[in-house]
Structure 1
Amino acid sequence: MSKQDYYETLGVDRSADAAGLKSAYRKLAMKYHPDRNPGDAEAEAKFKEVSEAYDILKDDQKRSAYDQYGHAAFENGGMGGGGGGFHGFEASGFSDIFEDLFGMGGGRRRDPNASRRGSDLRYNLTITLEDAFTGKSEKIKIPTSVACDTCDGSGAEDGTKPSACTTCNGIGKVRSQQGFFMVERTCPSCQGQGMTIENPCGDCSGTGKKNKNKTLDVKIPAGVEEGTRIRLSGEGKAGTRGGPSGDLYIFIDIEYHPIFQRDGSTVFCEIPIPMTTAALGGEIEVPTIGGDKTTVKISKGTQTGKRYKISGKGMPVLNRGTYGDMFIETNVETPVNLSKKQKELLRAFAEECGDDVSPEASGFINKAKELWEDLTD
């Protein structure tokens, strides 16, 4: 029985590129893999066919020979009549294909004395809105690790060095065959480090590091916002075997403010104003986030919710040297705890008032009356 064309086996055109071949093989390999089809001899045979086809076509030299001579290129140990061809397709070939397809291989030996960078650290720092306005210096204490000064971070006793792990030969991973799959896992002997220390340093127990509380002076620039990240290079955990330390990332959190709300460089503030000021107009003093006061002119007939803009009294723009604006929103306050005379004056005022004094209220009542009349008709 003649073999099926390799391109037809994978279901691709003869012009398919490497990515197309790999994609087609991946789908078919997953479909027919014996682990997914236990006891199915037909699926196992199909799996071998597609794997053989992919092994030939993924190699440029083999593919060229196949395109010229077909299956004859690989019969009797030849490749188109010449020597040095493909000598059959054995089970060991599956691991090579899967390493190429899924990136599972390799095994590059690690230098047991190579240095490694330390881990980064994160610190959450809470500040007030006033601190964000002015900027400040803050001292923080962080638990971290530093290189052991006894062994200079090598983890080995003075006069000795780490050696390559004999279990994984310095790779840090071990592989085992499971069916047609090559499974790779972290070496249990060296925990993936690729090296072992026969004579560990007595001061750091072979880790190359010591725990330490470090005090740092952090400069917080004016204008920082919620979530701003400040990076302190080299202030993270110590590296191993002389490697550089990681970095420290400080994330800024800003406390809730009872008066001011912030949106970027813009500040908002709700200001209660007396009913008389809202009606007659006048001036009010308004606090700012910078700690000073500013005067705002209130126009006649101001209603609750009206906004007034105060230029340049917002938050500083980070690293710009400019300031945003401040908006105050009026909240007209109804008088309380009135004296007898004050009540009489208000009643007299109410009797004198017409529709022109409260146009919105009068308009609302008229609309409501029209609605009631429509409902009763």
Structure 2
Amino acid sequence: MSDTCYYELLGVSKDVDEKALKSAFRKKAMQYHPDRNPDDASAEAMFKEVSSAYECLSDPQKRAAYNQYGRAGYEQGGMGSAGGGGGFGGQRPEDVFGDIFADFFGGRQSGGGRGGATRGSDLRYDYSITLEEAFSGKQAEIEIPTTETCDPCHGTGAAKGYSPETCGTCGGAGRVRAQQGFFTMERTCGACQGRGTVIKKPCGKCGGRGNVHAKRKLDINIPAGIEDGQRIRLQGEGEAGTMGGPKGDLYIFVSIEEHELFERDGPNLYARAPVPFCKAALGGDIEMPTISGGRARVSIPEGAQTGKRMRLKGKGMPSLRSAVAGDLYVELFVETPRNLSAKQKELLREFSESCDEDTNPEHRGFISRVKSFFDASADAE
């Protein structure tokens, strides 16, 4: 055994209080615990060292003896034989270790009070709606498979005239301890499966579970403005608990179907609208449907180009977090005429011949850039 100071081992000062001492020991013990360091002899040795340090410093009398005589004097009996200490602040060592290592073994389960009652599982229900329904909101009725508290036994799992009894193996704790050399280990009680109670005669309808399979209809409210992937929580609408425990929750995951006209990004909507070639050149109006079912007039400026985006304020989606609605953005694309008659082609030729560089400024700029590119390439040769 090393001569390292107990205070240094735990990383605390000599005036450390009981709460801080236990916290420091918890961290060190978790760090060096054999379950986290399998086949590591040095870690096991350190675990024993910090355990010895805590056993000494957590007891007022042993700590006083250690402070007066040092480690050697304390280990040789310098603390005297005064009673009442017992180590670990007067608690049994296995009790303290059980508290500290509850994190390792899943925590303690209490079988008392509720007779082993456990909360029911949460349920998930996927629900699909249209974009129009997301805009206006929706009231709907759904049917979900779930579990309900068994009526004959009122959720206890025991037959009529019987009640769950405290487990004789674990005394209602739901866990049992086993000493393995230096360590005291905890595990789930095999007799009651951690519930803390046993049923001598189970209910004939539920078989001792305390709940039965069922289908339940629910009225749900889908709020206006809900977005794809958002969920709605209905507290207490999940599966029934066992042994009379509380119900879990129901989570409704909402998905929104793709729309043939609109795309959504948060509260805003986006749509593409074809514009006839002549209307794009001369300007004019087009009519655009809105998600509310109405119509909106979009003014096309003279000389509009493909990709120009027009904003219709307040024609988007409502928002769950704001009273201000989003906008509708209409992206224009100019449609080139097709299936022309001979007369229409002749008219377009006449129009084309009448055009000059000012009529097609982007084309003129492109030709200029192309010419500069070829001139530069020629000079490089």
**TM-score, normalising length: structure 2:** 0.84
Q: Which deviates more, 69-78 or 167-176?
A: 69-78
Q: Which residue is 1:292 aligned to?
A: 294
Cα distance change, pair 137–44 in 1 and its aligned pair in 2 (3 A): closer
Task: Tell me how far 1:335 sits from its aligned partner.
Answer: 1.0
Residues of 2 paired with 1:115 and 1:214: CA distance? 23
Residues 1:36 and 2:40 aligned together: yes
Q: Which deviates more, 233-242 or 218-227?
A: 233-242
Q: Which residue is 2:119 aligned to?
A: 117
Q: Which residue is 1:53 aligned to?
A: 53
Q: How many residues align?
A: 370
Cα distance change, pair 59–372 in 1 and its aligned pair in 2 (3 A): farther
Task: Tell me how far 1:292 sits from its aligned partner.
Answer: 1.2
Q: Which residue is 2:83 aligned to?
A: 84
Pick one of 208, 222, 225 that aligns with 1:223. 225
Residues of 2 paired with 1:193 and 1:287: CA distance? 61
Give the % identical residues.
51
| Runs of at least 5 residues in structure 1 that lack an aligned partner in the other structure | none
Residues of 1 paired with 2:190 and 2:161: CA distance? 27
Residues of 1 paired with 2:247 and 2:2: CA distance? 63
Task: Tell me how far 1:334 sits from its aligned partner.
Answer: 1.0
Cα distance change, pair 277–182 in 1 and its aligned pair in 2 (3 A): farther
Q: Which residue is 1:375 aligned to?
A: 377
Q: Which residue is 2:308 aligned to?
A: 306
Q: Which deviates more, 314-323 or 218-227?
A: 314-323
Residues of 2 paired with 1:33 and 1:359: CA distance? 75
Is residue 74–residue 87 contact of structure 1 (8 Å, CA) maintained in 2?
Answer: no
Task: Tell me how far 1:193 sits from its aligned partner.
Answer: 1.7
AA at the equivalent of 2:137:
G
Cα distance change, pair 334–142 in 1 and its aligned pair in 2 (3 A): same
Pick one of 334, 337, 350 that aligns with 1:335. 337
Is residue 33–residue 44 contact of structure 2 (8 Å, CA) maintained in 1?
Answer: no
Q: Which residue is 2:63 aligned to?
A: 63
Residues of 1 paired with 2:114 and 2:180: CA distance? 29
Residues of 2 paired with 1:86 and 1:201: CA distance? 50
Q: Which residue is 1:354 aligned to?
A: 356
AA at the equivalent of 1:70:
G
Cα distance change, pair 179–373 in 1 and its aligned pair in 2 (3 A): farther
Task: Tell me how far 1:281 sits from its aligned partner.
Answer: 0.2
Q: Which residue is 1:153 aligned to?
A: 155
Residues 1:102 and 2:101 aligned together: yes
Cα distance change, pair 131–196 in 1 and its aligned pair in 2 (3 A): same
Task: Tell me how far 1:77 sits from its aligned partner.
Answer: 5.7
Cα distance change, pair 320–71 in 1 and its aligned pair in 2 (3 A): closer
Is residue 120–residue 246 contact of structure 1 (8 Å, CA) maintained in 2?
Answer: yes
AA at the equivalent of 2:140:
E
Q: RMSD of the TM alignment (CA)?
A: 3.3
Residues of 2 paired with 1:345 and 1:201: CA distance? 91
Q: Which deviates more, 124-133 or 359-368?
A: 359-368
Residues of 1 paired with 2:85 and 2:222: CA distance? 67
Residues 1:250 and 2:249 aligned together: no
Q: Provide, for residues 259-296 of structure 1, a one-character-per-residue CA deviation record: whole Å limited to 9, x for no partner.
A: 10112221111111111111100010001011111111
Q: Provide, for residues 52-110 of structure 1, a one-character-per-residue CA deviation record: whole Å limited to 9, x for no partner.
A: 1232134455434422343477467663x571276799xxx875564354335767553
Is residue 61–residue 85 contact of structure 2 (8 Å, CA) maintained in 1?
Answer: no
Q: Provide, for residues 135-178 of structure 1, a one-character-per-residue CA deviation record: whole Å limited to 9, x for no partner.
A: 11111110011111111111111111011223333222233344
3-state SS, counterpart of residue 375 of structure 2: helix
3-state SS, counterpart of residue 364 of structure 1: helix
Q: Which residue is 2:206 aligned to?
A: 204
| Runs of at least 5 residues in structure 2 that lack an aligned partner in the other structure | none
Task: Tell me how far 1:248 sits from its aligned partner.
Answer: 1.4
Q: Which deviates more, 291-300 or 313-322?
A: 313-322
1:1-40 to 2 correspondences below 5 Å: 5-8=5-8, 14=14, 17-18=20-21, 19-24=23-28, 26-27=30-31, 35-37=39-41
Cα distance change, pair 330–344 in 1 and its aligned pair in 2 (3 A): same
Q: Which deviates more, 102-111 or 335-344?
A: 102-111
Cα distance change, pair 119–158 in 1 and its aligned pair in 2 (3 A): same
Residues of 1 paired with 2:58 and 2:156: CA distance? 44
Cα distance change, pair 274–4 in 1 and its aligned pair in 2 (3 A): closer
Q: Provide, for residues 213-248 of structure 1, a one-character-per-residue CA deviation record: whole Å limited to 9, x for no partner.
A: 111121212111112222223221123344332221
Cα distance change, pair 356–107 in 1 and its aligned pair in 2 (3 A): closer
Is residue 112–residue 162 contact of structure 1 (8 Å, CA) maintained in 2?
Answer: no
Q: Which deviates more, 60-69 or 273-282?
A: 60-69
AA at the equivalent of 1:84:
G
Cα distance change, pair 88–34 in 1 and its aligned pair in 2 (3 A): farther
Pick one of 170, 173, 195 that aligns with 1:171. 173
AA at the equivalent of 1:63:
R
